[in-house]
Chains A and B, each alone.
Chain A
Amino acid sequence: MRVWKFGDNIDTDAIIPGRFLTIYDPRELAKHAFEGIRDEFSSEVKTGDIIVAGKNFGCGSSREHAPIALKGAGITMVIAESFARIFYRNAINVGLLPVVCDEAGSIIEGNSVMVDLTGGYLIVEGEKLPIEPIPDFLMRIINSGGLVEYAREFEEVPVCIASHQ
């Protein structure tokens, strides 16, 4: 497992440039992830690797190709100080785990990182770093294995149900 570190404001154009958006196959998309931004990523990334970034990861375009490309590259989890809203939701929908951790900046490449979602922390080199809890309604989607699996269970949904988080 390798940690790939990125800075603040990594946008979805950087994750997967516009000219590759006619591609849908996750592994094909993965070949162009971070192209021109971090060229060694696509050739060196391995299944189980993790991305660690600063603030506002995934800002910009709503393209779901971005989390799909990262998942296709074998990335299992993105840890960031904060996420752009659409990316966060897209990631959960496609089964790429986004983890919000204030102290993401202290993680360095080469660290071993594990996550305990129920406990609400990361274990980085044996030390616990607190993470932000994932809202209940998104946890239900994660537990179903993504929004597609979740949605397959129903023919219709009750509109207007509300719950205070």
Chain B
Amino acid sequence: MGATIVEKIFSMKCKKEVCAGDVVMAPVDNAMIHDITGPLAIRKFYEMGGKQVHSPERVTMLFDHQIPADSIGAAENHVYMRNFAKEQGIYNYDLREGVCHQVTMEMGKAAPGEIVVGADSHTCMYGAGGAFATGIGSTDMGFALKFGALYFRVPETIRVTANGSFQKRVGPKDLILSVAADIGADGATYKAIEFTGNTMKAMNMSGRMTCCNMAIEMGAKAGIVPPDTITWDYISRLRNIVPFPLESDNNASFIGERTYNVTNLSPQVAEPHNVDLGVDVAKVAGTTIDQVFIGSCTNGRFEDFVEVAEVLGNRNFSDNVRVIIIPASRQEYLKTLRAGLIERFVTAGALVEAPCCGPCMGGAFGLLAPGEVSLSTSNRNFKGRQGSTGASVYLCSPATAAASGIYGEITDPREVE
């Protein structure tokens, strides 16, 4: 019996053959903490009798959810974490770099074959870089900080194969919204999702990140794209690393297999209040919206803003909509800025904010009032996620968000000339 890519990663790290269902204490290559879940993880570390963090150089610390501090409580959390970083010799990116997952990727902290944990559910995004990466709670993070290792149950894998080429203005976000609608919000609970097929092979890193980011929205423990030249090119620009083969064996055992053809896929929109309620844009076209948010770890990269600018052309956004654009990181911000797109967005009437989570989690600014409707390129539309529980959030791609921002209602981006 062959092994899946996930089983191979755990076998490599544990230096013994393990398979799905085994419970292992595996070493952690990198651990990410941010300003929301970090303070609790640090408290747990101390409560566990922790004195010195196991491997400070393997900890990624930054602030992104509530920056610049939007309350005294948030400011206190930042101070608490800064002090911990100093005491422990952890390098702290503080509020300079942007959203945790984007920054972890672009700092080269997640490479093929590594095991990475983050005190945040969308940590599964690093599977785009060929790592086994999973979100954990603060107590588990306290444990990982103290011991440099954590208990894992090696998950079974569902293989998702996507073939075909996208139509113009249809892309990775539309694919993953349709996969989530098919698999369901709990269809992959406790499992890993491996993304393969020629659509994935042709997809750039940004698109792969979008797909892996949303594996958790199906309950998955991890999403992973087998590393290929695109992955190795990306990671070898960031750190010294020698490529090695890493993929599931032909005779590996998968707990589920799904195949999709994207050739005729329409732009997808997830209706309120669950991520697995994706429908063709035609079904909701014409819905009036109050706010458009283009950003987040799911879709806040340069490639996403190029899509937005392409749809926008020389038009302006509707006066009836607040368009909030937030690059996911400083590096993505700079690329977008240098390409002249920030100026275009601001001219068109958008509000462009510095890299952070922004309205995505409803913890900082950009909150919605009861009855308001938001269209968002982020990954969650739960009731109350972006403000009032009486508000509604629809999820979509950057292209659909741009088209809808122009007309003030949900619009099929393919219909914009």
Contact = CB atoms under 8 A, between A and B. Distances in A.
Interface stretch (A40-48, A89-97, A111-119): A89-97
Interface in A130-165: 135-137, 146-148, 151-152, 154, 156-165
Interface string B58-94: 0000000110000101101100000000000000000
B219 A85 contact: yes
Nearest to A157: B147
B340 interface: no
Contacts of A55: 186
B22 A13 contact: no
Given A148-B47, A151-B49, A157-B147, A56 B361 contact: no
B287 interface: no
A71 interface: no
B306 to A, nearest CB: 29
B202 interface: no
Contact of A160 (B25, B49, B185): B25
Contact of B48 (A60, A85, A148, A163): A148
A123 interface: no
B300 interface: no
B40 interface: yes
Given A22-B71, A59-B186, A162-B24, A64 B36 contact: no
Contact of A86 (B76, B121, B148, B367): B121
Contacts of A82: 186, 189
Contacts of B23: 135-137, 162-165
A110 interface: no
B331 interface: no
A17 to B, nearest CB: 5
B146 A86 contact: no
B51 to A, nearest CB: 9
A55 B140 CA distance: 24
Contacts of B148: 159
Interface stretch (B164-172, B205-213, B247-255, B384-392): B384-392
Interface residues of A, number: 50
A3 interface: no
A96 to B, nearest CB: 11
A60 B18 contact: no
A23 interface: yes
Contacts of A62: 37, 119-121, 135-137
A37 B273 CA distance: 13
B21 interface: yes
Contacts of A86: 121, 135-137
A18 B140 contact: no
Nearest to B154: A162
A13 B383 contact: yes
A148 B43 CA distance: 10
Contact of B121 (A61, A151, A165): A61
Contacts of B49: 151-152
Contacts of A165: 21-23, 153
12 contacts: A9-B274, A18-B363, A21-B363, A22-B77, A23-B73, A61-B380, A63-B37, A86-B121, A135-B153, A157-B149, A164-B22, A165-B23
